Structure 1
Amino acid sequence: MTRPLAGAPAWEPADVPAQPPLHGVVTADVAVVGAGLAGLACAYHLADRAPGLDIAVVDAERPAAGASGRGTGLLGPRAGPAIDRAVRRFGPVTARRMHLASVHAVDQVLDLCALLDVRCGLRTGAQVVATRSPGHLAALTRQAKAYQALDLDVPVLSGAAIRTRIGVPYTAGLLHRVAATLDPAALTCALARACAAKGVRFYGHSPLRAVHPGDLVGAELVFPHGRLHAGQAVLAVNSAAREVGLPVGTVLPLEVYAVATAPVGAEAYAALGGRAGDAFVDAAPMAPYFRLLPDGGLVAGGGTVTAPAGLDAVRLDAVRERAWSWLGRWVRRLHPDLSDVRVVHRWSGRVGMTFDGLPVVGPVHGLPDVWYIGGCCGHGLAMSVAHGAHVAGALLGEPEPGGPLPWHRSQAPRVPVDGPGRLLLRGYVNTLGRAARRRC
């Protein structure tokens, strides 16, 4: 039996602009560090709305090498905590704005896909957040009541209604109509090519080492073999902020896992909602989820989350093997026709988590003309594009319609994650993962 490709996503980055390493002293009007969706969306909107602006994009590797190219391609609305908790924390007006902003973010991505002719793997369809657990039925009920009170279009699906979409015995769910699934690497690489066509310069294989205030204005960015002096800088580096020493609070790297299968049988494909293109996400934290691919395969993620800091390569490899093996077994239990389906791809990716569930999108304290984007907490496919567009507008002096949202801030809460704190955090994450796996 052929061994599945470990570390290789079900999609590979497409053609991207040349990425020479940054050497010597380089200057730019705007430097964007991070060639993921957030950084490239920012560069794209800057180049589109301010032609002639000298923009340089620098990445530690290449476009789509990080989380933006290693996700599972679920495009749906979600930003910050669940809607009922958002109401309690921020009030109904702001909670409603938060949800509508996340729906608009989905629309932004779909508009970009149409503009950039990104068709690879794109399927528009609903996203269903569902549960098979009585305990999480109560949580879904609270969310449903909050959506209804806020006059938001997120209807409840009964178990019977879900069974008309999929042959998995979910008890109930919430229907998000504005959603899709897509190849995240294809979108990221298309954005890179569009930026290059607008004159954006690219540098690759150049990890950011340090950021200093510029001598007069702007920032000095330090890389292994050179320095970049920019009038303005956007650091879309997610959880790598800690390595650079950015004062943006605690944006913790967590590793998440995914698998993809060979094409499944026609009966199983239809029973799992293949015709409609819907995606199904379990309501339980860290619980597994899946979606179908246009070629007849299936992608699944979740079930295990790891805090990798402090784990050596051997221990981390062992965690990955266990996570992938569990996901493969879970997939085979979804439908009788999947009992012997082959897993052909297994991969992992790093997401940035904050301890209040909100991203950080704002100017960096103590570094004039430097902005940071990160901490999407696993919901970055839509929100990263929106964050990039927001920062581009801010750099160009454009006001934010409706005023700032809760994630338009300079810092997340600071939490000790070294020494004993690291052990406590790992134990907490592992406990949540075990609880999610038991229910599934």
Structure 2
Amino acid sequence: MSRPPAGTPCWEPADRGAPDAELPPQPQLRGVVTADVAVVGAGLAGLACAYHLADRAPGLAVVVVDAERPAAGASGRGTGLLGPRAGPPVDQALRRFGRSTARRIHHASVEAVDQVLDLCARLDVQCGLRPGEQLVATRAPAGLVSLARQAKAYRALGLDVPVLTRGAIRARVGLPHSAGLLHRPAATLDPAALTRALARACAAKGVRFYGDSPLRAARAGELIGPELCFPHGSVQAGQAVLAVNSAAGALDLPVGTVLPLEVYAVATAPLSSTAYETLGGRAGCSVVDAVPMAPYFRLLPDGGLVAGGGTALAPDGLGARRVQAVRERAWAWLEQWVGSLHPELSGVPVTHRWSGRIGMTGDGLPVVGRVPGCPDVWYIGGCCGHGLAMSVAHGAHVAGALLGDPDPGEPLPWHRSRAPRLPVHGAGRPVLRAYVDALGRAARRTC
């Protein structure tokens, strides 16, 4: 069976012209454009922000500018797991922030899942949505220790996250995991379809789009508000939102370190009905390992399977050949791991292999706040691989702040202007890359 070129997500239709025809016009930005609010980044965070601005303030002039097109970046290259997670594991959050804040972090992540489900209903878009359960489970001793700590923390906080025994897990997905935690609400969906639907909804509310226009710089404008500079023009705006995630470093934004990490995924042809049902096809489960960076999987509505994890790479500063070699090894390992899940998967072909970049921070928390020194510019990024639900929530939060919503009181830990700094340059870069590589090797050994 022939497969699409490496790098093509399974969400990308064979006819590239068809989805683009459904998107709003996206001319390249040329000359000087003015707007009340300029949003840079047509992913879930940027589009959610633009959508809520246009929905709540119909007279507001909003523009969205992207380096490529909607869903071309991380929002269209994820694996579509929608579950409650924000920041570090709950036991770490409890130790660092205390009971009240740890509980608020969990509730915020649950509300973020509900926001995505509500958004799908408001947009009347299915986007492959399958409500279900998310299992965080493991077979490795290190994973069992982590699960025990998390379960204890959930109980201490009075949160409803049930512990699953070996038998309860096997009844759901037919796998020999030793124990797990059950997260609800949860779902799986096509993240690119949701992103495109948001773009169409924004356009219907009067938002203007520009594509193929990478941001070069953001600076104080000659009049009121910031000036955003692009290769062939600029935007003069009253306020700006930079939903650029791990591109913050390349733009020299003073938001701390949001480290670009490349992660990998594969998708298969449809499984046999036996394998599909055994792995939780009817229940719509997704299974995430409790060990950081360990592989995970979910099933597709067409009967296929998507898997990711196992390897991550800090690619900045590496040559193209070395990056491609890591990709090939990561995809080959994932393909082998998928074949080990069930006897009938050993001969199922992998049809898609792709990679995407996530933004990691030193403390595992996103950054959602004003850019230091630029009070009219906001930044959104650093969801640390858990951005499907949280990106939508972050966009809504920033839209509310721009529209003058009342201060909700004590901010969540990621409502901040900077992440901790990491040694991404000079002698520290190889050390950081070696640390990421070591995490990947440890995760692969658990399988």
**TM range, smaller chain:** over 0.9
Gaps of 5+ in 1: none
Partner of 2:208: 201
The yes-or-no answer on 1:139 pairing with 2:146 is yes
Per-residue Cα deviation, 1:30-76 (whole angstroms, up to 9, x for no partner)? 00000000000000000001111000000000000000000000000
Report if aligned partners of 2:423, 2:432 keep a CA contact under 8 Å in 1: no
SS at match of 1:253: strand
Percent identical across equivalent pairs? 76
Partner of 1:61: 68
Gaps of 5+ in 2: 14-18
Report if aligned partners of 1:129, 1:175 keep a CA contact under 8 Å in 2: yes
Q: Decide which moves more: 114-123 or 286-295.
A: 114-123
Distance in 1 separating the partners of 2:279 and 2:168: 14
Partner of 2:234: 227
The yes-or-no answer on 1:332 pairing with 2:339 is yes
Distance in 2 separating the partners of 1:314 and 1:138: 38
Partner of 2:383: 376
The yes-or-no answer on 1:415 pairing with 2:422 is yes
Partner of 2:359: 352
Q: 1:301 aligns with which of 292, 300, 308?
A: 308
Report if aligned partners of 1:390, 1:400 keep a CA contact under 8 Å in 2: no
Report if aligned partners of 1:213, 1:368 keep a CA contact under 8 Å in 2: no
Read off the aligned partner of 2:2 and give its amino acid letter.
T
Q: Aligned in 2, Cα 1:5/1:168: closer, same or farther, shift over 3 Å?
A: farther
The yes-or-no answer on 1:25 pairing with 2:37 is no
Partner of 1:10: 10
TM-score by length of 2: 0.97
Distance in 2 separating the partners of 1:146 and 1:242: 35
TM-score by length of 1: 0.99
Report if aligned partners of 1:219, 1:368 keep a CA contact under 8 Å in 2: no
Report if aligned partners of 2:146, 2:291 keep a CA contact under 8 Å in 1: no
Report if aligned partners of 1:36, 1:64 keep a CA contact under 8 Å in 2: yes
Read off the aligned partner of 2:191 and give its amino acid letter.
P
Partner of 2:16: none
Partner of 1:289: 296
Q: How many residues align?
A: 440
The yes-or-no answer on 1:109 pairing with 2:108 is no
Superposition pairs for residues 64-213 of structure 1, below 5 Å?
A: 64-213=71-220
Report if aligned partners of 1:236, 1:374 keep a CA contact under 8 Å in 2: yes
Read off the aligned partner of 2:205 and give its amino acid letter.
K
Report if aligned partners of 1:239, 1:351 keep a CA contact under 8 Å in 2: yes
SS at match of 2:153: helix
Report if aligned partners of 2:54, 2:202 keep a CA contact under 8 Å in 1: yes
Distance in 1 separating the partners of 2:258 and 2:132: 32
Q: CA deviation at 1:215?
A: 2.0
Read off the aligned partner of 2:252 and give its amino acid letter.
G
Partner of 1:388: 395
Distance in 1 separating the partners of 2:115 and 2:3: 38
Q: CA deviation at 1:424?
A: 0.4
Per-residue Cα deviation, 1:108-167 (whole angstroms, up to 9, x for no partner)? 000011111221311000100001012221110110011111111100000111011011
Q: 1:247 aligns with which of 244, 247, 254?
A: 254
Q: 1:404 aligns with which of 411, 419, 422?
A: 411
